[in-house]
């Protein structure tokens, strides 16, 4: 069986006959948690969870203990459901790897084993061991990768989520909310809940979003880059001050600022060559991040390619100071922002 997408897993879970093995991994934590809980809920009735639902931490787990739990017969009928959280499969010894293979190849008919890779990165491309295990797991059960949802899917989710909470939100406003709070589903749904509660029903506007939605570092730095590009020193230093108050790591601010200027430079060079902003995504990886190109296109408009190169040189120098000089990080960032604004005035 090939690795399933979210939609394919959703369809498969509607089957009356569950799989004995599930390997759930991917970059979207909310979806992984959601489907693990859904599989467990389908397998074990709530009143029997104390007897038939077992949740184990994978780190340091003795696989013979795991085998004993898996072999246990469920009380009161139904299934014996075993969830193993973050089992470091690519770091197991040879003996444990062989033992795990024996376990998944001979699961009892009354047991459902869920291997939930929550914080462990699973990459079939980078790791031969993961590639081998994914292939093996697919022989005996269901392997599903939870990828980030596309921008269009997130907009639909926000709009339906707002409707369920008695509010309405237009696509452009939903897109704005995503740009501000990020595409992590857990955080996005939490922020949507806050915005809907603040609005109290009716249509959600930009003012409602701006009033309560907490910006990600990337979103705040996009605003910082915009203020710098516009030569608005007061706003730029105000945003930087807010980031300091929120105790945002200076290296994170610098990293996001560099990314923003790299986006602007790519857009500027592309346009000078007669291309469009969208053409940049055909050369660099902006999948599900196309909104960054739209922002960069607007921010780069008042700047020349030469100015952007000078800005990147300045950011490179400041980044080196941040990571190796031992100087006050706040002062390094403030001087960097001041110099970026000054370079805007130089034609």
Q: CA–CA separation, 193 vs 210, rounded Å?
A: 14
Question: What does pLDDT average to over the chain?
Answer: 91
**Could you report the per-residue pLDDT of 210-241, keeping only the tens digit for each?**
999 988 888 888 889 888 888 899 999 999 99
Report the topology of domain 217-344: Zinc Finger, Delta Prime; domain 3 (1.20.272)
Question: Considering the domain 6-146, what is its CATH architecture?
Answer: 3-Layer(aba) Sandwich (3.40)
How do the residues of the chain divide into helix, strand and coil, expressed in percent and rounded to 5?
A: 60, 10, 30
- The DSSP-derived string for 2-14 is PPB-HHHHHHHTT
Q: Is 187 exposed, middle or buried (0-12, 13-18, 19+ CB in 10 A)?
A: middle
The strand pairing partners of 26, in sequence order, are 146
In this prediction, residues 131-144 reach a mean pLDDT of 95
pTM: 0.75
Q: What pLDDT shows up at residue 15?
A: 81
CA 19 to chain centroid: 27
pLDDT digits (tens, 9 = 90+) for 197-210: 999 999 999 999 99
pLDDT-based confidence at residue 50 (cuts at 50, 70, 90): very high
pLDDT above 90 covers a percentage of the chain that reads: 68
For position 337, what pLDDT does the model report?
94
In this prediction, residue 258 carries a pLDDT of: 93
**Of 87, 152, 90, which Cα lies nearest the Cα of 123?**
90
Based on the number of CB atoms within 10 Å of its own CB, is 272 exposed (0-12), middle (13-18) or buried (19 or more)? Answer: exposed
Backbone φ, ψ for residue 198 (5° rounding): -65, -40
Strand partners, 115: 23, 84
The domain spans of the chain are: 6-146, 151-212, 217-344
Q: Please give the pLDDT value at position 222.
A: 83
Least-confidence region, from 71-80, 181-190, 280-289, 300-309: 280-289
Ramachandran region, residue 166 (left: φ > 0; alpha: ψ -120 to 50; beta: rest): left
Task: Tell which wins on pLDDT, 155 or 231.
Answer: 155
pLDDT at residue 137 in the model:
96
- Mean pLDDT for the stretch of residues 55-62: 95
Residue whose tokens read 């100015």: 307
Query: In terms of DSSP bridges, do strands 53-57 and 80-85 run parallel, antiparallel, or are they unpaired?
Result: parallel
280 has pLDDT over 70: yes
CA distance 41 to 174: 31
pLDDT at 312 over 70: yes
Q: What is the pLDDT of residues 62-101, one digit of tens each?
A: 999 999 999 999 988 789 999 999 999 999 999 999 999 9
Provide the percentage of residues in the chain whose pLDDT is more than 70.
98
Q: In this predicted structure, what is the pLDDT of residue 324?
A: 85
102 pLDDT tier (thresholds 50, 70, 90): very high
How far is Cα of residue 7 from the mean position of the Cα atoms in its chain?
18
CATH architecture for the domain at 151-212: Orthogonal Bundle (1.10)
- Angle at the Cα of 248 from the Cα atoms of 244 and 250, rounded to 5 degrees: 85
pLDDT of residue 346: 57
Q: Are 29 and 186 in contact (CB under 8 A)?
A: yes
How many other CB atoms are there within 10 angstroms of residue 211's CB atom? 12
């Amino acid at each position: 069986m090939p690795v399933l997408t979210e939609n394919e897993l959703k369809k498969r879970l509607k089957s009356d006959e569950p799989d004995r093995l599930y390997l759930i991994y991917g970059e979207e934590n909310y979806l992984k948690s959601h489907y693990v809980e859904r599989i467990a809920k389908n397998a074990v009735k709530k009143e029997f969870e104390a007897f038939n639902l077992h949740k184990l931490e994978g780190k340091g787990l003795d696989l013979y203990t795991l085998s004993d739990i898996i072999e246990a017969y469920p009380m009161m009928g139904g299934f014996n459901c075993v969830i193993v959280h973050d089992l470091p499969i690519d770091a197991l010894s040879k003996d444990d790897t062989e033992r795990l293979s024996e376990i998944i190849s001979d699961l009892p008919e009354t047991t459902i084993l869920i291997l939930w890779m929550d914080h462990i990165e699973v990459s079939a491309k980078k790791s031969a061991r993961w590639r081998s295990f994914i292939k093996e797991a697919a022989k005996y059960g269901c392997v599903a990768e939870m990828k980030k949802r596309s921008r269009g899917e997130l907009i639909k989710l926000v709009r339906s989520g707002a409707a369920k909470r008695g509010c309405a939100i237009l696509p452009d406003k939903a897109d704005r909310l995503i740009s501000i709070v990020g595409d992590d589903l857990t955080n996005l749904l939490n922020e949507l809940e806050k915005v809907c509660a603040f609005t109290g029903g009716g249509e959600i506007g930009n003012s409602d979003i701006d009033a309560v939605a907490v910006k990600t570092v990337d979103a705040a730095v996009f605003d910082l880059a915009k203020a710098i590009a516009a030569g608005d020193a007061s706003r730029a230093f105000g945003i930087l001050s807010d980031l300091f108050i929120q105790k945002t790591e200076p290296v994170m601010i610098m990293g996001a600022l560099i990314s923003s200027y790299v986006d602007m430079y790519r857009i500027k060079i592309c346009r000078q060559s007669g291309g469009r902003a969208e053409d940049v995504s055909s050369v660099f990886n902006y999948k599900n991040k196309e909104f960054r190109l739209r922002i960069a296109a607007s921010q780069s408009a008042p700047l020349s390619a030469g100015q952007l190169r000078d800005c990147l040189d300045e950011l490179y120098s400041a980044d080196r100071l941040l990571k190796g000089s031992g100087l006050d990080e706040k002062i390094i960032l403030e001087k960097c922002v001041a110099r970026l604004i000054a370079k805007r005035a130089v034609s």
